[in-house]
Amino acid sequence: MFAGVTRRRIDEAEIVERLVLAIVSEAAAILSEGIAARASDIYLVTVLGYGFPRRRGGLMHHADSLGAKAIVARLSE
C-alpha cells in the first residue's frame, strides 16, 4: 500500500479503455474550445496521425457508439 492506495492488477482491456477514453475526452475539449472546427478534423488526426483503425470509423464514431453518458460515467470512475 502506498499513500493509502492498494495495488491491484489492471488487465489489458482496462488499459486500452482508459487510454481511448482519455483521447475521447481530449477530442471533446478540442471541439468545444474551437481548436478543431469539426469532428472530421479529429478523425483525420486520429486515423492518419495516431493510427486509429479507419475501418472502425475513427475515434469520434467510436465515442458516438459508446454514448456520452457512458463515457462520462467511465471517466468519473
Residue-wise pLDDT for 27-36, tens only, equals 999 999 999 9
- Quick check: is 6 in a domain? no
Domain hosting residue 27, numbered range: 12-76
Three cell numbers, residue 53: 483503425
Q: Is residue 3 part of a domain?
A: no
Work out how many domains the chain is built from and give that number.
1
Residue 62 lies in a domain: yes
Q: Is residue 4 situated within a structural domain?
A: no
Confirm whether 5 is domain-assigned. Answer: no
The answer to whether 21 and 75 are in contact (CB under 8 A) is yes
Q: What is the pLDDT of residues 2-21, one digit of tens each?
A: 788 888 899 999 999 999 99
Name the β-bridge partners of 2. 5
Q: Is the pTM of this model over 0.85?
A: no
